[in-house]
Structures are given as structure tokens and as C-alpha cells.
Amino acid sequence: MPEGPEVELEEVHHAVHHEAEHGGSLVRWIALTTAVLAALAAVASLAAGQRVNSALMLKTESTRLQAQASDLWAYYQAKGIKAAVQEAQRATWMAARATPPPEIDRKVKQYEDEQTEIKQEAEAKEKERDALSREADQMLEQHHGFADAVALFQVAIALGAVAALTRLRLVWFGSLALGLGGLAMFVYTHMQR
């Protein structure tokens, strides 16, 4: 999985800077706002990548805990089978109208006690697994929010380039509006911690 959305804007920056050098005041403002938008896009892209990487690490840890819990449940079943074998031996002694050796009762009790401990440990692993999985899901949601912010910033930058080339204020205002939308998405996502 990629670390985050790529921000490929080198040609746009070159065109905007070229126009800024040869254009008027409007083009300079467009170049300035476009540079700010590019910086915000880079920060949002880094945040998106960090969130997805953290989510992957948490999901990996969650999977490891699930494997441990599964192993413990298999061990729990094995202890149950051993207890059932002891119970079958007791039943054989009873069917023969003989007193079962006390060792059988001791082993049954031991296996049942071990099962209780194993069950508690397996349930604790599952609880920890669930908590990590929920945290990873939250981070993936944040990743999507930051990725959406990057997309808005990229479109705003592209509109800024068009505004610089055409010198149309309305297009620049559209660029600023989308940039503010990207900033709002970034801040909202960042506050969702």
C-alpha cells in the first residue's frame, strides 16, 4: 500500500513561477497562494502516509494477537479433551463397579483449572486485538480525510496555475475556495484524534 497520495506539481510550479516573474501583481499573488497550497498539500500528504502506516502496524499487531488467541483456544480445547478422557476412564471404573483411582479426579480438576486460566488469557488477547483493530480503523478514516484534503489542494493548485496563465481572478478565487476547503478538511481530520 502506498504511503500516501503523491503530489506531482513540478511543472505547475515552474509555469506559475515563470508567469510570476513576467506577470503583474495578480500573478504574484496567485504564485504566493499556490506555493502555500503546495506546502499544505505536502503536509497533508505526509499526515495521510503516517496514518496509513500506523494503521497497518496496528492491524499487523491485531493479527498477531488473533493468532495467539487462536492458539490459546486450541490449547483450551486440548485440556478439555484430556479432561473428557479422564472422565471416560472414571466411567469405565464405575461401569466395572470399582472405585476409580483418586488420580483421575485430581487430573480432571487440574485440567478444568488450566482451562479457566487459558480462557481468561485468550479472552484478554481478543479484547486487546479488538482495541487495536478499532484504533487502526480510526487511523484509516483519518488517512482518507487527509487524502481528500490533498486532492482538494491539488485541484486548487491546478486552478491557480490556470488563473496565472489566463490572469482570470474568478479562476483564482475558485482556487482559493478549493484551497480553503482542503484546509478545512485537513483541520477537521486532524481534530478527529
- What one-character-per-residue DSSP string does 4-23 give? S-----HHHHHHHHHHHHHS
Query: Is 186 contained in some domain?
Result: yes
pTM: 0.70
Distance CA 110, CA 115 (A): 9
* Domain housing 141: 10-191
Query: Is 5 contained in some domain?
Result: no
Distance CA 189, CA 148 (A): 10
The answer to whether 20 and 31 have CB atoms below 8 angstroms apart is yes
Query: Is 180 contained in some domain?
Result: yes
Query: Is 87 contained in some domain?
Result: yes
106-to-35, 41, 111, 114, 119 alpha-carbon distances in Å: 77, 68, 9, 12, 20
Where do we find the cell 491557480? 160
Q: Identify the DSSP state of 23.
A: S
Query: Is 15 contained in some domain?
Result: yes
pLDDT band at 192 (very low <50, low <70, confident <90, very high): confident
CB neighbours (10 Å) of residue 96? 9
Across 5-9, 77-81, 148-152, 183-187, least confident range? 5-9
Q: Which residues contact 41 (CB under 8 A, 6 or more apart)?
A: 7, 9, 150, 153, 154, 157, 182
The answer to whether 93 and 104 have CB atoms below 8 angstroms apart is yes
User: What pLDDT, on a 0 to 100 scale, did the predictor assign at position 160?
Assistant: 94
Query: Is 3 contained in some domain?
Result: no
Distance CA 63, CA 15 (A): 48
User: What pLDDT, on a 0 to 100 scale, did the predictor assign at position 5?
Assistant: 59
pLDDT band at 4 (very low <50, low <70, confident <90, very high): low
State how many domains the chain has: 1
Query: Is 163 contained in some domain?
Result: yes
CB neighbours (10 Å) of residue 30? 28
User: What pLDDT, on a 0 to 100 scale, did the predictor assign at position 25?
Assistant: 86
**pLDDT of 5-14, one tens digit each?**
565 667 766 6
93-to-79, 84, 88, 101, 110 alpha-carbon distances in Å: 21, 14, 9, 9, 20
Query: Is 135 contained in some domain?
Result: yes
